[in-house]
Amino acid sequence: MSLEKNEQGKILLQIARVAISSALHVPCAPAGVDEDMSWLFQPGASFVTLTQWGELRGCVGSLQACDPLIEDVSNNAVSAALHDPRFMPLVADEVDTVNVEVSLLSELQPLGFSSEADAVAQLRPDIDGIVFEYGPYRSTFLPQVWESLPQPQQFLARLKSKAKLSEDFWAEGIQLSRYTVTKWRETDYSKEHTHG
């Protein structure tokens, strides 16, 4: 990863942590953002993932770049901490126990396929994030999910399940899109942490 990407990641992680700390009224050093960082004010799509003791603690994101990246990351960080319906909201005492990960998404690329087997054959483990859509049903998995679901068939089945459909569901009208992510974790920088 280039130095510039490395620095971008550091800033995005700080923005996410400051947003969570502010929402919970926990003192936190400000993120080092200045006007020269024009990339932060361009539309961007991000996911913010929180882990605690190695377990998922919240994950919320945007699939399309609508808001400036700085706002997108801040809003998703607060939503992951307080509004992920799978978890109790984070409380102030937990802020220091969570690790933050920020994923920056590429543009969505629709997949063309003739059957479920054809769709499965096109999935690229460890590379693709996938969006599943069928009528009102929609779900996505980040590429990081391949770590726990390494088989493409299983990955797609769980994606359908996440969309509240049966794992063996298949129909005309299913749409799949792929995207890639650039991701940064606080734990990647923890060797450099000198102060919180």
CATH code, domain with 171: 3.30.1490.150
Instruction: For residues 122 and 185, state if they share a domain.
Output: no
CA angle 195, 71, 74 (to 5 degrees): 40
Of residues 31, 23, 87, the one with CA closest to residue 59: 87
- Domain identity same for 120 and 94: no
Total domains in the fold of the chain: 2
Residue 192 has pLDDT above 60, yes or no: no
| Claim to verify: residue 87 and residue 166 sit in the same structural domain | no
Same domain, 32 and 81: yes
Is residue 128 domain-shared with residue 91, that is, in the same domain?
no
Q: Residue 1 pLDDT > 60, yes or no?
A: no
Exposed, middle or buried, 90 (CB in 10 Å: 0-12/13-18/19+)? Answer: buried
Question: Are the C-beta atoms of 193 and 96 separated by less than 8 Å?
Answer: no
* Long-range CB contact pairs, 4-11, < 8 A, 24+: 5/182, 8/39, 8/184, 9/102, 9/182, 9/184, 9/188, 9/189, 10/184, 10/189, 11/37, 11/40
Residues 90 and 185 in one domain: yes
Element (H, E) at 178: strand 175-179
pLDDT for the residue 32:
83
My answer on whether 92 and 173 are in the same domain is: no
pLDDT at 129: 97
Q: What are phi and psi of 139, to 5 degrees?
A: -155, 165
Residue 38, domain extent: 3-106+181-192
Mean residue pLDDT of the chain comes to: 93
pLDDT of residue 194: 37
Residues 6 or more apart whose CB falls under 8 angstroms from that of 128 comprise 143, 178, 179, 180
- The two tokens of residue 90 are 């984070």
37 & 128 share domain = no
- Helix, strand or coil, per DSSP, at residue 142: coil
Q: How far is CA 4 from CA 30, 81, 105, 125, 154, in A?
A: 20, 28, 17, 27, 36
> What CATH number is attached to the domain comprising 85?
3.30.700.20
pLDDT in tens, 106-154: 999 999 999 999 999 999 999 999 999 999 999 999 999 999 999 999 9
* Claim to verify: residue 13 and residue 51 sit in the same structural domain: yes
pLDDT band (50, 70, 90) for residue 34: confident
Whether residues 8 and 99 fall in one domain: yes
Rounded Cα–Cα distance for residues 87 and 74 (Å): 19
144 and 166: one domain?
yes
pLDDT tens sequence across 168-180: 999 999 999 999 9
pLDDT of 40 > 90? The answer is yes
Are both 142 and 54 inside the same structural domain?
no
The one-letter amino acid at 116 = E
